[in-house]
Structure 1
Amino acid sequence: MNAFDKASLYEMSYAFMRRFAFIPVGVPKNITEVLVETYLIQWELRNMVT
């Protein structure tokens, strides 16, 4: 880790930011049980939830 990275240890430093692409991901405005159920089924996680 170089000095520039160490100075920004607890925040996203420019050194890291230039190495990655940042894609904003929004949160659905209306989160309903149907929406959650749909994702659980799609991601094959339905049986993991108790």
Structure 2
Amino acid sequence: MGLFSPPTVEAVRARRWTVFIVSILENMLFAAPLFGAAQQSVISLNGHIFDP
């Protein structure tokens, strides 16, 4: 396999579940703080006191 040749079908299928799990973990790590900040700003805009 050369440097610029595409991966084989077997290699892609072998990596599929690993990539799927890692992508979910990345989404959880990067999106959770954004959702938390948005939730706090919405609560504060509504005038409610949010004390975790």
TM-score by length of 2: 0.23
More helix by share: 2
Quick check: which has more Rg, 1 or 2?
A: 2
Higher RCO structure (Cα 8 Å, ≥6 apart): 1
